[in-house]
Structure 1
Amino acid sequence: MASTENTANTENTKSRSKNRVANQAALKLLMETYPKAFSRTEVRPLKIGIQEDLLADEKIAKNKIKRALASYVRTLSYYRSLQAGNARIDLAGEASGEVSAQEAEHAKGKLKEISRQRREREQEQRKVQAEKEKSDRLSNKLEQLVNLKGR
């Protein structure tokens, strides 16, 4: 049963990695095609309905647009850009609406949730590492005892 779980976890990890690569490639294409709207260094809130504008422009395939947008709007930088009153931008980088107080609060909640999840993951990793170190110490002591007895 454990090996079945390990196989499933390995497959899941490979799938996530493959999706991540595809998402990043789609995002790169979006940034190259619309540099005034999409940037890694100058992340700004996007116009509501920008997906429809991208689809209507027909420069990028629908599945790539969805992947890229999903990746872009879920970054910490994007959530941080969602401050009440900040201008939203269209594909040309021009102002097209602004971030509402409710949207800013939602983004703030998302940032808190991401931070909480990170802390939990880090705590779990520290716990696993501590258990591994404890197990290694015990194995070393047992090995030393076996070696003493064998003399």
Structure 2
Amino acid sequence: MNDNVNVVVERTEQLLGELDQLLEQREQIRVDTPKQQSESVIVNDVASTANTASTENTKSRSKNRVANQAALKLLMETYPKTFSRTGVRPLKIGIQEDLLADEKIAKNKIKRALASYVRTLSYYRSLQAGAARIDLAGEAAGEVSEQEAEHAKGKLKEINRQRRERDQQQRKEQAEKEKSDRLTNKLEQLVNLKGR
């Protein structure tokens, strides 16, 4: 058993020596070729810019989400018989025109709020064939057709499929990160063995 440990230690030291040589060669190449070094800096700058753009895009989406939620809250406060987070019911066809004609809320806020409201899972679930649609007073104003109900079912399936794919991708990325972390940890252990 002791011989096996010695063989592993010798092989590890040999590999570490080879790694040191490769690092020295790479450093020498960097010193000899400043053009490559400047290209590396450019690549790093581009990557940094891409990360910044991604962060700004995320911030922009977050701001839009906040604005949409604020507009939706205003709509729910102004028309509590029609808009609700809990008792979601199908809206009258053409309700946007009714809201614009009522002039209680700005046009851009109406569009934001309606877009947010009708794209929720609760709203899609409320679109059952024959269900009553409601107007601004909360009164019945038409019914949901079979075709509209089928469309809503399709949207629900699509949303669920996208969620599954996103969850699957996140699990895959997490597994890759854990694998990378394990490899890094093992390399650090090897480096520490050499230092002894």
Normalising by structure 1, report the TM-score: 0.99
How far off its partner does 1:90 sit? 0.2
Specify which of 122, 135, 159 is matched with residue 114 of structure 1. 159
Match of 2:120 in 1: 75
Superposed CA offset, 1:11-31 (max 9, x none): 110000000000000000000
Distance in 2, Cα, partners of 1:71 & 1:4: 31
Distance in 2, Cα, partners of 1:39 & 1:60: 17
Are 2:74 and 1:41 aligned?
no
Q: Secondary structure at the match of 1:37?
A: coil
Specify which of 20, 32, 55 is matched with residue 10 of structure 1. 55
After TM superposition, which residue ranges in structure 1, 4 or more long, deviate above 3 angstroms? none
Distance in 2, Cα, partners of 1:106 & 1:22: 27
Q: Secondary structure at the match of 2:65?
A: helix
How far off its partner does 1:5 sit? 1.9
How far off its partner does 1:8 sit? 1.5
Distance in 2, Cα, partners of 1:6 & 1:70: 29
User: Where is the helix percentage greater, Structure 1 or Structure 2?
Assistant: 2
Unpaired runs of 5+ in structure 1? none
Normalising by structure 2, report the TM-score: 0.76
Distance in 2, Cα, partners of 1:120 & 1:3: 28
Superposed CA offset, 1:70-110 (max 9, x none): 00000000000000000000000000000000000000000
Distance in 2, Cα, partners of 1:4 & 1:87: 51
Distance in 1, Cα, partners of 2:160 & 2:110: 27
Q: Secondary structure at the match of 1:97?
A: strand
How far off its partner does 1:2 sit? 2.1
Aligned positions, number? 151
Specify which of 65, 70, 86 is matched with residue 110 of structure 2. 65
Superposed CA offset, 1:33-92 (max 9, x none): 000000000000000000000000000000000000000000000000000000000000
Q: CA RMSD in A?
A: 0.6
Distance in 1, Cα, partners of 2:79 & 2:65: 21
Unpaired runs of 5+ in structure 2? 1-45
Distance in 1, Cα, partners of 2:52 & 2:150: 40
How far off its partner does 1:3 sit? 1.9
Distance in 2, Cα, partners of 1:95 & 1:129: 49
Distance in 2, Cα, partners of 1:96 & 1:108: 22
How far off its partner does 1:4 sit? 2.4
